[in-house]
Structure 1
Amino acid sequence: MTKKTWWRGAVIYQIYPRSFLDTNGDGIGDLPGIVEKLDYVASLGVDAIWISPFFKSPMADFGYDIADYREVDPMFGTLEDFDRLLAKAHSLGLKVMIDQVLSHTSAEHEWFKQSRQSRSNAKSDWYVWADAKPDGTPPNNWLSIFGGVAWQWESRRGQYYLHNFLTEQPDLNFHNPAVQQAQLENVKFWLDRGVDGFRLDAINFCFHDAQLRDNPPKPEHLRTGRGFSPDNPYAFQYHHYNNTQPENLVFLEEIRALMDRYPDVAALGEISSEDSLATMAEYVRPGRLHMGYSFELLTDDFTAAFIRGTVERLEASMTEGWPCWAISNHDVQRAVSRWGDGQANDVLARQLVALVCSLRGSVCLYQGEELGLPEADVPYELLQDPYGIAFWPTFKGRDGCRTPLPWNGGASAGFTDGTPWLPVAPAHTPRSVAKQDSDPSSVLNAVRAFLRWRRTQAPLVEGAIRFLDTPEPILVFVREYAGERLLVAFNLSAADVACTLDVGAATKLDAPGVAAGRVDAGTLQLPAHGALFARLD
């Protein structure tokens, strides 16, 4: 099967550099560590890697606060190391996507250092500055995702600046055309260097409401959100004005116009808005982003109805464009714990990879998903995440999904010769790469086998999707491409299940890596956390 574009239906493996492999003994993963393990990544059968930020940064938010968009932070290596990484990945047939954090910078960025000095300097209008109200309070009621008000006082200007995230992450003023052009030039720098695409972090946060209108309050029963703590006051508002502004669509078209000058590259937008699915559909229309993904499946809701409803709502609105799905990343509890009642479950781990890789769209797999890693329990005194520290103990932050990848069962799990920046989880070393690599029945080898098999199934890579009516906890859909139809079924429970399913003649396929069910005489039977793939006549 030959795909028209590499990213359409691709499986993208997310690498969190700090926790992948450390080669210099400082306890922090680095670019040479990624280079060293690219053969392993290629062995998984993925199509591309996405590397979380490795740019120069004071690391207030571990690289998502960028001080220089064109320099590698010394803790990760050098630009030459990145060039070696790019060349090695390409030699293995892997595409390389990197994070671009365009909506805000670090407070240590030279732009902000200049902007904060006065109201009249050359960069004075490059960030979102506003006067205080007459009583000295912030200009409006906007809140930061990381807790508290989204405004920080700067005495040198006698004004507040906006930060949708940490105070160390001031928001750029995209209403200034010079800011847009500067960020497009930063994107161009990496395209010229040869990257194959970008994961655009918080891309719907670039523009703010120029009138600085207050966000309206949200009723208590609706105070739920995607990707932030349930006790966070951020959930108390409808975020109509601090993100997802109509002007952003024009900027997306500028990004696309730039990227269209380069062959076969792709932009994947991370989107978190009041209606993320609607925003995804809007952002991936022709002439905008190639793909979009949101936090919709990064929740605690592991039911057939929720998964079906989420995908169907997106399908109904995304009449053009291409989705991307993820059930784990560096911001949320690992899926095998989140959807497995907090317990490690290798059968569930195999099923989850098969499930997300069977939905229509591309897929992001997070490092460790291929090992079935559960969430790590990081004690308070070892926490690094400012988000977790701020909301402890009701929310423990993001460190539990960011602990070092276990390469072997030795000291520090083969991750480092030094002291790891986060502790290696004791529950992870029995699931190390070395141990699973030699076990034919391991999660790792199951994932490898499934991803290789998926590549041969055109309906799973590029086909349309249509759900069938089944009772909980059974999720069933049909993927169809060029007249070929595949029946796909999952049992989302830890008990054997059966249901009536009239689909006509179905030939079971030997899909590797999953606990296999069967359909016979109109009855679908699935083992605990099992799956069925069958060809429909």
Structure 2
Amino acid sequence: MNKATGDWWKSAVIYELAPISFQDSNGDGKGDLPGLISRIEYLTWLGVDAVWLTPIYKSPFRDFGYDISDFRTIDSTFGSLEDMDRLIAKLHELGIKLILDLVPNHTSRDHDWFVKSSASRDNPKADWYVWAEPAETGAPPNNWLSRFGGSAWEWCDARGQYYYHSFLVEQPDLNWRNPDLRAAIADVMRFWLDRGIDGFRVDASAVLIKDHLLRDNPPAPKGQDKPPPQRFTPVFTDDRPETMRCIEFIREVIDGYDSRLLCGEVQGKTDRIGHFYGTERPRLHLPLNFALLDCPWDVLALQAAIDAYLNALPEGAWPVWVIGGHDKQRIASSIGQAPLRTLAMLLMTLKGTPFFFMGDEIGRERVHIPDDRIDDPFEKLVKGYGLCRDPERAPMRWDDSPAGGFTTGEPWLPLETDGARNVDQQRGDERSILHLFRSLIALRRAHPALQRGEYHPVRARNDVLAFKRSLDQSELLIVLNIAAEPRKFEGDCRGNVLLSTHLDWSTPAAQPISVLLRANEGLIIELDRP
């Protein structure tokens, strides 16, 4: 196995899509696997190397499919195992990898494991979930809170105990201290790996183990100003040291197969992200990093965020950059359409693996969801804090028809009313942001320096973020004007412009010692070597 094959993710561009919102094939208003298969041409045209799917397993869908009732069955909403096999085969035929969500922290309350575990204290699965005795008053064991509000403990009459749920009351947490449970999760992973998937994105990887003493979490600083679930600092529920052993166990399963990726949802500040890679024992290949998404759109803030992240990585760790996701607010809604083009160039030229979410490539913004159409439990249970994720999860808009080309029925969530930003319109406009994403992906593939080259920062001045990427005899300069008005970059720009975010450089053009950048313009310049 050569290195290029074994760590394919280092040169890959990874596209997250939610099948329920990508393409419907049967008119029920919900996307499915046959619909996804029908849109593979779009994925190949765009040029992505891998797709990550949000959960497609059997589920009552109380939480976007992250409440799983059978890890080995495709929910009938999406199709069948045969459809899944067809999808894997078709993607692989076209050179596209497939990553599935792995949800090892919890199941649905409807899962057969929990049905058996909750039946009594002496059945074979009695210890597969987190159970605890009540306090002396009969109250929950401690002050731990669910992310969806209220106590994280729920009473079970059959056992005379409480079970713990980090998320919805219908999502009981699994007990990762139980070796039989760990073995069962490993079997689930092998079931899908044996079917040919190329890796997993681990959901909620930082909360797999909770404090065995059940100690109360301390009050959070200024907790009274935060949403109710954040009013205590989750010292004893989140990012426990023992969690790293769980991730190492998952990595051991992955490493039993050639060339498979393990990425994961992590938490904590930048200086904490490094330990999710592992040093003595490997953990995640790619702990997902949202620094670009969470950073203010300011050149000094961006420069600092990039530097802090890269400095926090262990030696030999591969960076990763994410600008969108099913749990994150649309970046276009916060920074605007013109800066999004500059951000796209930044994403595709930094050292590391880029991730983006379906719709980012057409400049998708948050879709207005009427109160009577809200699906997200965050908005239903923790109201008034702007936590709703439905605006990001609205179905993909392929054309300007009322249902956006997504379905012949009623979409499960509403779409934009104007239909202005859609794939068909932008495919026909060679200067659209969709064509910019496509051009950036193609340029990245054509230039190894953008895939695996070294990163060399240049001091940010005058609202211009700049850096170089070099590999062997190739050196590229990336200059990005973060301002909404022209800015001059003072530096050696002698070489050929390979791409502008404005997509209006018809031929390579020689550049002088400095360059005048238009508002929100970024350039990739192949420098002349002496």
TM-score normalised to the size of structure 1? 0.91
CA contact (8 A) 2:469 2:477 kept: yes
Corresponding position: 1:324 with 2:320: yes
Corresponding position: 1:507 with 2:495: yes
- Which residue among 393, 406, 412 is the counterpart of 1:402? 393
CA contact (8 A) 1:145 1:165 kept: yes
SS in 2 for 1:468: strand
Corresponding position: 1:336 with 2:326: no
- Residue correspondence of structure 1 range 293-308 to structure 2 within 5 A: 293-299=288-294, 301-308=296-303
Partner of 1:227: none
Deviations 1:299-344 (A, max 9, x none): 262222333222222221212322221111111211111222xxxx
SS in 2 for 1:480: strand
Which ranges in structure 2 are unaligned for 5 or more consecutive residues?
Answer: none
Instruction: Check 1:496–1:86 CA distance in 2 against 1; reply closer, same or farther (3 A cut).
Output: same
- Residue correspondence of structure 1 range 378-417 to structure 2 within 5 A: 378-395=369-386, 397-417=388-408
- Aligned AA for 1:526? L
- Which residue among 513, 516, 520 is the counterpart of 1:525? 516
- Residue correspondence of structure 1 range 40-439 to structure 2 within 5 A: 40-220=42-222, 231-273=226-268, 275=269, 277-285=271-279, 287-299=282-294, 301-318=296-313, 319-340=315-336, 345=337, 347-395=338-386, 397-427=388-418, 429-439=419-429
In structure 1, how many angstroms separate the alpha carbons of the residues matched to 2:47 and 2:245? 36
Instruction: Check 1:516–1:70 CA distance in 2 against 1; reply closer, same or farther (3 A cut).
Output: same
In structure 2, how many angstroms separate the alpha carbons of the residues matched to 1:440 and 1:451? 15
- Aligned AA for 2:308? R
- Which residue among 475, 479, 486 is the counterpart of 2:469? 479
SS in 2 for 1:190: helix
In structure 2, how many angstroms separate the alpha carbons of the residues matched to 1:277 and 1:53? 30
Deviations 1:488-520 (A, max 9, x none): 121223222235x34x46324221554689996
**Cα RMSD between the aligned structures?**
2.3
- Equivalent pairs counted in the alignment come to 520
Deviations 1:29-74 (A, max 9, x none): 0010110001111110111111110000010101111111000000
SS in 2 for 1:207: coil
Q: Identity, % of aligned pairs?
A: 38
CA contact (8 A) 1:298 1:326 kept: yes
Instruction: Check 1:150–1:302 CA distance in 2 against 1; reply closer, same or farther (3 A cut).
Output: farther
Deviations 1:63-92 (A, max 9, x none): 111111000000110000000101111111
In structure 2, how many angstroms separate the alpha carbons of the residues matched to 1:305 and 1:354? 17
Instruction: Check 1:173–1:78 CA distance in 2 against 1; reply closer, same or farther (3 A cut).
Output: same
In structure 1, how many angstroms separate the alpha carbons of the residues matched to 2:266 and 2:35? 30
CA contact (8 A) 2:477 2:493 kept: no
Which ranges in structure 1 are unaligned for 5 or more consecutive residues?
Answer: 225-229
Instruction: Check 1:118–1:111 CA distance in 2 against 1; reply closer, same or farther (3 A cut).
Output: same
TM-score normalised to the size of structure 2? 0.92
SS in 1 for 2:146: coil
CA positional deviation for 1:101: 0.6
CA contact (8 A) 1:150 1:164 kept: yes
Instruction: Check 1:276–1:170 CA distance in 2 against 1; reply closer, same or farther (3 A cut).
Output: farther
CA positional deviation for 1:207: 1.2
- Aligned AA for 2:261? A
